[in-house]
Every structure is written in C-alpha cells, then in structure tokens.
Amino acid sequence: MTRKASLYDICDQPILEGECPTPAGFNLRLIYKKLAGHPVLKYLILKGCRHPAISLTEISPYQEMMRKAMQANADNWQDPLWIETTFSSLARLLDSIENPRWQQREKAEQLDNELTRTDLQKMIDNCLQDILRIWDKDKNDPWFPVAAQVELSGDDHMDGKNFINVLQGVGSFEYKNITVLFALMRCFLMTNPVRLRFIRRSYRGICEPMSASFAWIWHRIAFSDVNFFEHLLVFLDSDASRRHYARLVPVLENLLRYCVCSSQEWLETPNNHIRHPAITCLPKDAEGRPLCRLSEDALQKKRDLGFGDFVPDTDTTFLTLAMARKWLVFVQREQLTADKVLLEACESLLNYPWVEIISEYQVGGKYSSNPPTILITKPLDYEGAVPIWFDKTFKRDGRIIREILGNEICPGHNMDILDAILVNRKQWLALEGENLAFLQRLLDFHYRAFASGNFCHETAFKYYLPEIYVYYLGRMYRTYSTLADIDKRILDPKGKIEDMRRIAQQYCKDELVGYSLNAFDAALAVSALVLLAYEPRHDGVIAAGLNVLNQTMGEGKGRHLYRAYEWNRMRHPTRILVGSEVATSLFVLRACTEAMRYLKNEESINSGT
C-alpha cells in the first residue's frame, strides 16, 4: 500500500533545507519553524495528518510550489499571474475539502412564559457584578480583556478562488506566507476527522464558543472598548435612580479616553489630502511602547506574521465618532461633572469633515483610488460601500506598499459608518449636497444586501456573522427614529430603511429565535428585536431570547456567568475568533437593559410608578 504524504513530507526539504536567498524566503522559513514546528501541534496533530489524495510519490508538484515560495522576491509576490500559476495545485486541494456542519440548530418550541421584572433585574445585577469584578482586577490600569483564538481548521469558505484572491490582494509577503501555510494546514487537517476533533467540534447555535483558553492571545483594542462603552452607556442611561453613576462614569471615561486619545493616529486622504485623525488597533505611547496589553512574546509573533503595524480601520473610527457625540450629549443632558480634557478631545475629533473624508473611499463614488483588493465577501454588490481600511502606505527596500493587509468590504463596518454619520448629521451637514449623495449611495448598498437576502449568507461577511449585521441595523434604526420627518424624507424618500427593518425583524423571528441559540446569539437577537421596535412585543419572540439567557446563566467557568463566544472574527489567513467571557456579560447586560425598558415600562406606567 502506497504511503500517503504529510505536511512535513512536502515542506521540510524546500523550506528547511533549501536555499533562502530573499527576505520573503527567510520569513517563510521562520514562520514555518514557529507554526508547523511547534512540538504540540507537530507531534500530537499535524504529523499524523496524511492527505488521502497525495502519496509520497506525488509530492513533487507541491514541493516545487514551496520551493518557488522560498525563492520569491517582491516582484513575484506582486505578480497576479505568478501567484495563480504557482499556487494552483494548493487551490485545487482547497476546492476538494468537504466541510462538516459545525452549527447544530433545531427548531425551537415557542414558549408563552415571559420573564418577570425581578428575573430581568437579577440577570442585569449578575452581569454588572461580573463586569465590575473584571474591571477591578487591575487597580492601576483597569481594562476589559478580549482574546483571539486561532482555529487551525481555517475558514470554511476559503476555497481555491478565494485563496488566490487573498494572495493577490494583500500587500505584505509575511501575510502571503502565512496564508499559504495555513491553507496547507487546513487541507491536511480537514481530511483527517479524528485529528480534526482535537481542533474543532460542532456546537449549539450560531456564534462559536471559544475553547482552549490556554492558547488565547489577550489584548485591548479600541474596537472592543468602544462597543463596551456603548453597552454601559445604554445601561447607565436606563438607571433612572442614578444608583450606578458614581461607579460607572469613571469606567466610561476610561474606555472612551482609550479610543479617542490613546488610539489616535494621523492620516491623509488619498485624493484631497485632508489631514485627519483615525483610530488604530495597536496604539503606542510617546516612547513607542504598545498600549494594547499584548505581551512582548505576542507582539513579536504578530511582527513575524506580518501584523506588526495595523492600518486604522473605518469601523472603529466611526464607532468612536458616534460614541464621542453620545457622550457629549449625555454629559450635557445629565449635567455630569466629567473629565473636561476628554470632552475637549471628543469635540476636537468630531470637528473634521468626516463625510468628505470617508467619501474618498466609496466604491462607485467620485474617486476610485482605494478599491477593495480582496473580494471574498460574496454575493454582495459592493457599489456604494466603503472598504475596511483607511489608506496608509509603508516603505520597505525603497518600495511603497499600500494596504499591507489588503482591503475589503464588510457590510457591518458600513452600517457603523451610516449610523455615525446620522448621529452627527447636523455638525457634518450630512443631508446636504455631495454629502447626501454619498449617504444615499451607502444606504442603497445596505438596502440591496437586505432586499436580495444576501445579508443572510455567512460568506457576505469577513468580520461578523449575519446576526451581528442585523443588530447593527437595529442600532442605526434607533438613530434614524430620532430624525425629524422632513429629514427622513430627504435621506430615504422611498422608505428603504423601513423595508430593511421589516426584513430584519422577520429574520430575527424565523431564523434566530425560531431555532436553537446559545447565550451570545440570544443577546444579539434580543437587542436587535428591541432596537428594531418589534411588535407585538409580548408575543413570545423577545421572551424566547431572554429565556435562553436566563437558562444559560452560570455556564461560564470559574466565576464567570457565561462562556466566551465568537463576537467577531477574521476569515483569512485562517479563522480567528475574538471574544471573552466578560464581553458576553456586556452584551447580555445590554440585551436585558433594552428588554427591561421595552417590555416592562408598560407595567411601570400601569402601576403608577
């Protein structure tokens, strides 16, 4: 019987023993040793993964592929034809993979019982206790930890065409190298189901639970903090008795300060050269030391893998712009004694022509200087959308590298841009002239995603799942509801937002709550339904989501209420989940707070309280 090949049969000779004449080849050797050479991964899992379709006598085409990767120079990696020709054999292997059904979902029974006000208050109190306990762990520099978990099984939607597109679309050779290595690992893991079970198993619900916490990479980034800020602000805004103001206002200021001040860097737009701030993922202090709570070991791993620097992203920047406005309004309305330096920083950040800035990136807009280079989010029509990353150039060996991570379209990011512009519509003159034209093109992009049903496809998203996008629509819809009727007609004369709302409500009812959910799914579903003003509110749909939250409370390890779940993710170079136990508690706190206001305010009114 012919012996089948392993990853090491193919790669060791070209990578470990071959010549290494280029910087790209040196990097490939380094990361191969660190990734594939890790003793646990190599000897417990990958060494025993042999590909059923590749015998030892048939490995020469794959060895030649890796030999070419070792000898590749910068010109090779920028040549689309060289990439397609060199890696065609690996692309075919990816196309042959059959994906298991990871998400286990069954039709849910409709329950008539609705949680009492006492039940909801208990969940809110328990979540708040868990949240503040984590915040208080570091008295000198408190933070909410978030973890990244690499899924070596890879992205289920990374077929050969997408793989080649990613290689052609990213800018740095480090990123290209790890894309190749992770794609190879995926091919061997996915054809060995026994070994695959050590890496990934099926689970209940939509968002994947995170496991193997010993391998998590902990960090603090503005994207997480700005979302946590909003959840706590929603809770504080509902705290009519102001019981928690003294405790939570400093937390809110810390989170917002990290986003607005610590994570800010300066860019210039690609066409009109408008100098403006933006919010980055890996901020540094004045001495160049990282502020993102990554260990030095984790930082070095990021550098080796091509993630040593991040382009500021449009999503985090516009989320921060929305929260800066909401904080200014909240402080003024509540007459809070707040950090004046932070308030001034918020005002300064808002004082830029943000619609004009972001319009330079719009697909189908006035400019075409920064198009998406990676087209894996299918079957979306990109017209009117904005790519994820701002324009930022890097210099290396006399060359200018644009978009080191590539650039791509993800609809969730674009919903945050739409919401932030509506929140700041008056200051930015968003409903006038060219600004309005930009906004309506962006709205049309979202409308087509919902009206076509494309928003339901997991393939349409890089960083999120469809339920996150629907929740983001709910957040935007609440903002839209604050517009005067005349402004609603100016923005949306054909009622597209109301159509999107109806489609999203039906999706929440039928596809989310209609089937089995886990705690994170349920928190998103409840928040989305309330934000979208679902009626009839007491028909059991919202109650079904709340019951899941109540029944799963206590599932977390240690003293945590809930498990960590896939909140956001990356789809390439492999599947990376991002979340934490405290993140789940914050999302559940938001959901229960929204539900208390929406379901129980009638009881307060009827009882005279």
Cα 251 to Cα 236, 545, 583: the distances in Å are: 11, 28, 15
Q: What is the DSSP letter of 107?
A: B
Q: What tokens were used for 387?
A: 């790519």
What are the two backbone dihedrals, phi and then psi, of residue 218, each rounded to the nearest 5 degrees?
Answer: -85, 145
What average pLDDT does range 312-330 have in this prediction?
97
Whole-angstrom distance, CA of residue 143 vs CA of residue 220: 7
pLDDT tens-digit series, residues 552-581: 999 999 899 999 999 999 998 899 999 999
What are the two backbone dihedrals, phi and then psi, of residue 565, each rounded to the nearest 5 degrees?
Answer: -130, 160
Q: Which of 128-132, 294-298, 496-500 has the lowest mean pLDDT?
A: 294-298
User: Residue 476 domain-assigned?
Assistant: yes
353 pLDDT more than 70: yes
608 pLDDT more than 70: no
pLDDT of residue 368: 87
Same domain as 159, residue 146: no
User: Residue 301 domain-assigned?
Assistant: no
Please indicate whether residue 18 or residue 378 has the higher confidence score (pLDDT). Answer: 378
User: Residue 19 domain-assigned?
Assistant: yes
Whole-angstrom distance, CA of residue 377 vs CA of residue 382: 9
What average pLDDT does range 16-43 have in this prediction?
90
334 pLDDT more than 90: yes
Closest CA to 532 of 494, 495, 502: 502
Same domain as 606, residue 516: yes
Instruction: Compute the half-sphere exposure of residue 514: CA atoms within 13 Å on the CB side of its CA.
Output: 7
What average pLDDT does range 358-382 have in this prediction?
94
CB 238 within 8 A of CB 320: no
CB 349 within 8 A of CB 277: yes
Same domain as 22, residue 64: yes
pLDDT of residue 281: 83
Q: Is the peptide bond before 573 cis (omega within 30 degrees of 0)?
A: yes
Same domain as 134, residue 36: no
Q: What tokens were used for 62?
A: 């794959």
Neighbours of 234 (CB within 10 A): 19
Closest CA to 281 of 148, 386, 176: 148
pLDDT of residue 305: 64
Predicted model pTM: 0.95
Confidence tier at 604 by pLDDT (50, 70, 90): very low
pLDDT tens-digit series, residues 468-485: 999 999 999 999 999 999
Ranges of H-type helices in 429-492? 433-451, 466-481, 485-491
What average pLDDT does range 56-82 have in this prediction?
95
Confidence tier at 60 by pLDDT (50, 70, 90): very high
Confidence tier at 399 by pLDDT (50, 70, 90): low
Q: What is the DSSP letter of 571?
A: -
Same domain as 145, residue 87: no
Same domain as 178, residue 137: no
CA pseudo-torsion sign 9, 14, 15, 16: positive
pLDDT of residue 284: 80
User: Residue 350 domain-assigned?
Assistant: no
369 pLDDT more than 50: yes
CA pseudo-torsion sign 61, 66, 71, 75: positive
User: Residue 241 domain-assigned?
Assistant: no
Which distant-in-sequence residues (6+ apart) come within 8 Å of 371 by Cβ?
363, 387, 407
User: Residue 426 domain-assigned?
Assistant: no
User: Residue 226 domain-assigned?
Assistant: no
Same domain as 75, residue 184: yes
Same domain as 140, residue 166: no
DSSP string, 15-45: IIIS---SHHHHHHHHHHHHHTT-HHIIIII
Whole-angstrom distance, CA of residue 97 vs CA of residue 85: 20
Same domain as 124, residue 59: no
Same domain as 16, residue 135: no
Instruction: Compute the half-sphere exposure of residue 186: CA atoms within 13 Å on the CB side of its CA.
Output: 32
Beta strand ranges found along 245-363 (DSSP E) = 264-268, 275-279
Same domain as 514, residue 590: yes
What's the angle, vertex CA 297, arms to CA 295 and CA 300, rounded to 5? 110
Number of domain units in the chain: 2
User: Residue 317 domain-assigned?
Assistant: no
Same domain as 161, residue 145: no
Instruction: Please provide the average confidence, as pLDDT, over all residues in the chain.
Output: 93
Confidence tier at 215 by pLDDT (50, 70, 90): confident
Cα 444 to Cα 182, 375, 386, 389: the distances in Å are: 36, 19, 12, 21
Which domain covers residue 545, as residue numbers?
113-150+461-609
Which distant-in-sequence residues (6+ apart) come within 8 Å of 531 by Cβ?
471, 474, 475, 477, 478, 594
Percent of the chain, pLDDT > 70? 95
Question: What is the 3 state secondary structure string of 372-409?
Answer: CCCCCCCCCCCCCCCCCECCCEEEECCEEEECCCCCCC
Helices (runs of H) and strands (runs of E) counted in the chain = 25, 12
Instruction: Compute the half-sphere exposure of residue 531: CA atoms within 13 Å on the CB side of its CA.
Output: 25
Which run of H or E residues covers position 109?
A: none
